[in-house]
Structure 1
Amino acid sequence: MLRESPELRQKSLVGPTYRVTIIMLVIGQIQVSAAMEITPLKDFLAERYYLSLVQFLISFLSIQLYGFFYHLIVKKPMWVRILAGFWTYEVNTMSIMKPAKRAPYFSLIVSVFLTFLMMSISVIYGNKAVHQRRGLFTSRNKVILWSERIFVLTCFGIIVCAEMKRVTIEFPTLLVYTIISNVFVLVFAASMRRPDFYHHECNGDYILIGQLYYLNFFALYMGYVWTIASFLELMKWDVTVQSILKYLFVREVTD
C-alpha cells in the first residue's frame, strides 16, 4: 500500500486535458465561421483544388512529427513550444475547414450544440467506465495512433466530398465519418482515465493529449457541419436561422 500512495496522490490530468481541448475547439469554431465569410478565400480555394490536398499532406506530416518529437519539444524554450504547437494547431484546423464551400448558419449552430453535447456524454461515459472498470478502453499508444488516423481519414473525406457533385453519395459518406468520430471520442474519454495513461514525468503531457483530443472533436464538429449541410441539400430544405425564428416567434395575422 505504501508503494501505491504516491501514485494515488498524483493529480488527475483529465480536467486540464479537457480545458485545452475546449479552448482549442472554441477558437477553431470561430475560425470556421470567419473563414466562410471571406468570399475571395472561398473562390481562391474552389478554383485550386490541389491546394486542399497540399494542406492535407502538410497537416498529416505536421501531426506525425509533432507527436513523434513531443518529448523533445517540451524540453525546448517556451517560444519553441508555442511556435510548434501553434503551427500544428493551425495547419490541422485549416486542412479540415473546407472553406471553399459555405455551410448554412443553421448547420454551424446545431453542430456546436451537438459537439459540446457529445463532449458532455464523453465525460459522463468516461467517469462511469472507469468506476465500473468496464468500457471501451485501449492503450495510450493506440489512442494516439487512432486519433491521428481518424482525423486524417475525416480530413481527407471532407476534402473529397467537397468536390462531389452528387449529394446522394456525399451525405452517407460524411455520415459514416461522423459516426466513427462519435465512437472514438468515447473511447478516448474512457482510455485517458486509466491510471497509466499519462506520462506524469513529462511536463505538459496533458497538452499533447488535449491537442489530440481536440483534433477528434474538431473532426467531429466538421463532420456534423457538413453532414447536416448535405442532408439539408439532399432533402432540398431551405432552412435558415431567420426562418426558424420567424416560425417560432412570429405569428402571421390572417383575417
Structure 2
Amino acid sequence: MQELAVPQKSLIRHTYAVTIAMLVIGQIQVAVFMQIKSLKDFLARRYFLSLIQFFVSFLSIQLYVFFFHIISGKSMWVRVVVGMWTYQVNTISIMKPAMKAPYLTLAVSFVFTYWMMFISAIYGYNARHHKRGLFVSRHNVILWSERIFVVTCFGIIVCDEMANVTIEFLTLLVYTLMSNVFVVIFAASLRRPNFYHPHDLGDFILIGQLYYLNYFALYMSIVWTLDVLLDIMEWDTSFFQFFNSTTKAPTTTHILI
C-alpha cells in the first residue's frame, strides 16, 4: 500500500480552529434564537420560508465551493463577506426546527458533538499512523460534505412537519448516524497526502467550513432526534417544571380533634 505522507500539521490545526469557532458561534445562535418568541412564531406559521432558506443554502454552498479558487484570489473584504454569507445562510437553514427543543437536548448534543470530534481526531491520527482507515479523496470529501448537509437539512425541515413521531424519530436517527460516520471519515481524510491546496490562499478555511457543516448537521440532528424521543417517551424536560417539582412545599394536614 502506498505510504501516506503526513500533511502539514499547521493546516490541520487551522482547519480544526475554523471548524470549532464556527461551531461555537452556531451553537450560541441556536440558544439565542430560542429565546425570541416572536421569531419562533413567525417561522412556525410560514413553512415555505424554511424551504426557501434551504434552497438559498443549497445554492450558496455549491457556488462557494465551485468558485473558491477565484474567491481566494480576491481582496480580504470580498473573501470575508462571501465566507460569512455562506456560513450564516447554511447555519440558519438548518437551525429553525430546534427553536422549540428543550435545553436538555442542546446540552446533550453539545457534549456528544465535541466528544465525536475528539474521537474523530484520534481515529484520523491512528489511521494515518497505521496507513489504513476510512480515507477518501479530497473531491469525495467535498462532494459528500455537501450532500450529507443538504440531505440532513432538508430531512429535518420535512420531519418538522410530520404527524407520525415514530417515523420522524427513525428518519432523524438515520440522519444522525450518517453525519456521525462521515465526520470520522472526514477526520481521517484530512491526513491524506496532498489533501490541501497550498497555492489557494485560505484553503483550510474552505475545508474547515465544510467540516463545520457536517458537525453542525450532526449537532442539530442529535438535538431534534432527542427532542422527538422525549416527545415519544412523554417526558417533561422543562427547567421550571423540574424546579417547581423539587421545591414544592409539603401540604399541611389538619387533624380535627
TM-score by length of 1: 0.91
Distance (whole Å) between structure 1 residues aligned to residue 224 and residue 242 of structure 2: 19
Residue aligned with 1:13, SS = helix
| Equivalent runs, 1:1-255 vs 2, <5 Å | 10-99=8-97, 101-241=99-239
| Structure 1 position 10, deviation (Å) | 4.7
Maintained 8 Å contact 1:43/1:100: no
One-letter amino acid of the counterpart of residue 203, structure 2: D
| Structure 1 position 166, deviation (Å) | 1.7
| Structure 1 position 203, deviation (Å) | 1.4
| Structure 1 position 240, deviation (Å) | 3.9
Change (3 A) 1:199 1:246: farther
| Structure 1 position 53, deviation (Å) | 0.4
Show the counterpart of 2:254: none
Distance (whole Å) between structure 1 residues aligned to residue 160 and residue 236 of structure 2: 20
Maintained 8 Å contact 1:41/1:99: no
1:34-73 deviation per Cα after TM superposition (whole angstroms, max 9, x unaligned)? 1111111111111111110000000000000000000010
Maintained 8 Å contact 1:21/1:214: yes
Change (3 A) 1:246 1:181: farther
Maintained 8 Å contact 1:98/1:158: no
Change (3 A) 1:142 1:100: closer
One-letter amino acid of the counterpart of residue 22, structure 1: I
1:91-141 deviation per Cα after TM superposition (whole angstroms, max 9, x unaligned)? 000000025741001001111001000100111110011101111100000
| Structure 1 position 246, deviation (Å) | 9.1
Maintained 8 Å contact 1:178/1:223: yes
One-letter amino acid of the counterpart of residue 230, structure 1: V
One-letter amino acid of the counterpart of residue 223, structure 2: V
The answer to which of 29-38 and 152-161 deviates more is 29-38
Distance (whole Å) between structure 2 residues aligned to residue 139 and residue 245 of structure 1: 51
Maintained 8 Å contact 1:111/1:224: yes
| Structure 1 position 239, deviation (Å) | 2.5
Change (3 A) 1:8 1:26: closer
Residue aligned with 1:22, SS = helix
Q: Highest Rg: 1 or 2? A: 2
Residue aligned with 1:170, SS = helix
Change (3 A) 1:42 1:138: same
Structure 2 regions of 5+ residues with no counterpart? 251-257
1:208-245 deviation per Cα after TM superposition (whole angstroms, max 9, x unaligned)? 00000000000000011000100000111112456778
One-letter amino acid of the counterpart of residue 90, structure 1: Q
Distance (whole Å) between structure 1 residues aligned to residue 219 and residue 133 of structure 2: 24
Distance (whole Å) between structure 2 residues aligned to residue 95 and residue 185 of structure 1: 20
1:171-212 deviation per Cα after TM superposition (whole angstroms, max 9, x unaligned)? 111000000000000000000111211011211100000000
Q: Percent identity?
A: 63
The runs of at least 4 aligned residues of structure 1 exceeding 2 Å deviation read 7-12, 239-247
Maintained 8 Å contact 1:107/1:228: yes
Change (3 A) 1:193 1:207: same
